Amino acid sequence: MADALQHSAWFVRAVHAADLGILWYMLLVNSFFALLLVLAAPQLFAHWRFGSEDVLARSLTSSAVPRVSILVPAHNEAVTIVESLRALLTLQYPYFEVILVNDGSSDDTLARLIAAYDLYQVPPAVMRRLRTERVKAYYRSRTWTKLLVVDKHNGGKADSLNVGLDAARFPYVLACDADTLIEPDALLRLARPFLFDQKIAAVGGTIRVVNACTVREGRVVDARVDHRWLSGIQTVEYLRAFLFGRLGWNLLGGNLIISGAFGLFRRDFLTEILGYATSTVTEDFELIVRLQRHLREQASPAKVVFIPDPVAWTEVPTSVAVLGRQRERWHRGLISTMVAHRHVLFNPKYGATGLIAMPYFLFAELLAPVVEAAGLVITVLCTIAGVLSTRFAVAFFVAAYLFGTLLSLAAILMEEVSFHRYRRPSDTARLLWFAFIEPFGFRQLTIWFRLKAFWRYVQGYHSWGRMKREGFGATPPPVSPAPAAPPSR
């Protein structure tokens, strides 16, 4: 078989063509990553300076910061809900409300909330503008006037966010996940671009990995890097994605991702585009693509920006199975969003979004697992056929490996010289270790999960997949039987 392949002209031509394609692909994509890195560095410095203690302290004393409604969709979050909600309610910010939407939880999420926050049912003082699943009841807290809990039938995260959007009273809304821990001053930092610049539609902040951190009262009091490889590697991955990936896009004018776990929006823009789409499994990505489209169609100068210093912490999967479900869902969402907004692609009418961001997401994100898998298959075939130049292949793989590692190191360097959340040298050493080992095993796993997404997308699969939470290391408080809600009148 090896001989037959070696002497087959079409095979050799096909291998050459594929080789050339993959090499050019790697060159272009890696050059683009390098460009993002170069663009991110000065911005990181700027945000580090703006976010300095003195400037921030003066913002905090101002009573003119924008009022913010925090929207928290929750579905079966009984393990962490009381603690993460407490962290939200005690944020350092002069004016905000928290709207927690219980999305038809089948566990005791609502009972825990009623017990912990002394909730009582109130009449619906809400002007409904968006179509959503039916709301069962609205609750206010006797102990926290900032809190509104909405209990509704299950309709998914996007549906819950839309219910929250309807109930929001303030002109700015922060969308965050119930299992996300927001740092006390993060909201103040996140609001900064709205105070400095007239033309901002949405702002995203950084998400970090909470798994090995010590959490007390819903606050990360000791930031650590997990020693377990899966969450350790994801810690580096998150640093890379947030510190230069998204920051670099600010200057290219087409930021397409604001994490659904932590993003601040002007509410008027969200209601203009009819809120979150319920038909996708990555409602955050889809929302930003639709928002960018809307802004360009309306010829609005408003921008979607990312800033690195507001930090929220989230749990990442610690098992391969859960990681697989998460990555497969993310990629499936990417495919469906790209298909739904395909006419934006290469369309000059949409400016940087159509000409830079969408093509980038098509080639460097959506097709990346296909190209990488093709590269691996071709290598195996060439080895079998005996047409592989071993020196070239080794040099190529080492170059690709070093480049990936270099990007991770750059992210760690940026983190260390700017925000420096991980104080112990042992944590920095762990970050470096995981940066070096990420390409062995983890990367191939994610390629496989993302390839599965194509198959699932073709099958019309529309599930989120079950995510298992470990909680933040504290035992949830005991729950007393829920008191009967007082009559609403």
Partner 1 sequence: MLSLDALAIALAIEGTLIAIALGGLVGLRMWLIVRARQVEAGVAALEPLLHRWLIDDVPVDAIVRALRGLPAHVAFRSVARLTTPYLTFERQQRLAPRLRHEPWVQRLLAGHDSLFWWRRFDAARLLSIVGDPADAPMVAALLADTRPAVRLVAIDAAARLGGALVDLELSTLPFRQDAVQQYQFAALARHPGAVVAALIPRLTPLEPPAQLVAWIDAAAFLAHPDVLWRVRDLALHPDAVVRLHVARALRRHAEPETVPVLLRLLGDDDWRVRAQAARALGALRAVSAAAPLSAAVRDRAWWVRYRAALALAQIGGEARAHLVTVAGGDDPLARDMAALVSGLSPAAVVEMSEV
* Distance, CA of 241 to CA of 249 (rounded, Å): 11
The candidate with the shortest Cα–Cα distance to 85, out of 183, 163, 178, 162, is 178
Give the binding range for partner 1 (CB under 8 A) out of 75-83, 284-292, 339-347, 388-396. 388-396
Of the candidate residues 14, 23, 339, 376, the single one contacting partner 1 (CB under 8 A): 23
Q: Which of positions 174-213 make contact with partner 1 (CB under 8 A)?
A: 191, 194-199
> What are the Cα distances from residue 13, in Å, to 7, 17, 25?
11, 6, 18
Q: Is 429 in the site for partner 1 (CB under 8 A)?
A: no
Residue carrying structure tokens 């469906």: 336
Q: Toward partner 1, which CB reaches closer, 165 or 191?
A: 191
Contact residue for partner 1 among 412, 442, 447, 453 (CB under 8 A): 412
**Interface segment toward partner 1; rule CB under 8 A; list 165-173, 210-218, 246-254, 291-299:** 165-173
Stretch that binds partner 1, among 76-84, 314-322, 351-359, 410-418 (CB under 8 A): 410-418
**Structure tokens, 271:** 């209601």
484 near partner 1, rule: CB under 8 A: no
Q: Which residue number, 130 or 345, has a Cβ lying nearer to partner 1? A: 130
Closer CB to partner 1, 320 or 417, in the complex: 417
- Contact pick of 92, 399, 426, 480 for partner 1 (by CB under 8 A): 399
Position 316, amino acid: V
Nearer to partner 1, 243 or 453 (CB): 243
Stretch 67-106 residues interacting with partner 1 (CB under 8 A): 67, 97
Buried b (16+ CB within 10 A) or exposed e, 427-443: bbebbbbbbebbbeebb
Contact between 443 and partner 1 by CB under 8 A: the answer reads no
Smallest distance, Å, CB 95 to partner 1? Answer: 8
Contact (CB, 8 A) for 64 and 158: no
Q: Give the span between the Cα atoms of 232 and 226, in whole angstroms.
A: 5
Which amino acid type is present at position 353? T
Q: Which is nearer to partner 1, 57 or 339 (CB)?
A: 57
Alpha helices in 144-282 (DSSP H): 157-167, 186-196, 229-240, 247-252, 267-272
Question: Is the Cβ–Cβ distance between 81 and 113 less than 8 Å?
Answer: yes
Query: Binding to partner 1 by residue 62, rule CB under 8 A?
Result: yes
**Do 249 and 338 meet the contact criterion of CB atoms below 8 Å apart?**
no
**Any contact of residue 171 with partner 1 (CB under 8 A)?**
yes
- Could you tell me the maximum CA-CA distance found in the chain, to the nearest angstrom? 86
- Using the rule CB under 8 A, is 123 a contact of partner 1? yes
Instruction: Select the residue interacting with partner 1 from 92, 145, 319, 383 (CB under 8 A).
Output: 145
- For residues 11 and 382, is the Cβ–Cβ distance under 8 A? no
Least Å from the CB of residue 472 to partner 1: 29
Question: Does 488 help bind partner 1 (rule: CB under 8 A)?
Answer: yes
Question: Do residues 309 and 420 touch, judged by C-beta distance below 8 A?
Answer: no
Q: End-to-end CA distance of the chain, in Å? A: 82
Q: Is 181 helix (H, G, I), strand (E, B) or coil?
A: strand
- For partner 1, the binding residues (CB under 8 A) are 16, 19-20, 23, 27, 45-46, 49-50, 53-55, 57-58, 61-67, 97, 120, 122-125, 127, 140, 142, 145-146, 169-172, 191, 194-199, 389, 391-392, 395-396, 398-399, 402-403, 405-406, 409-410, 412-413, 416-417, 420, 428, 432, 488-489
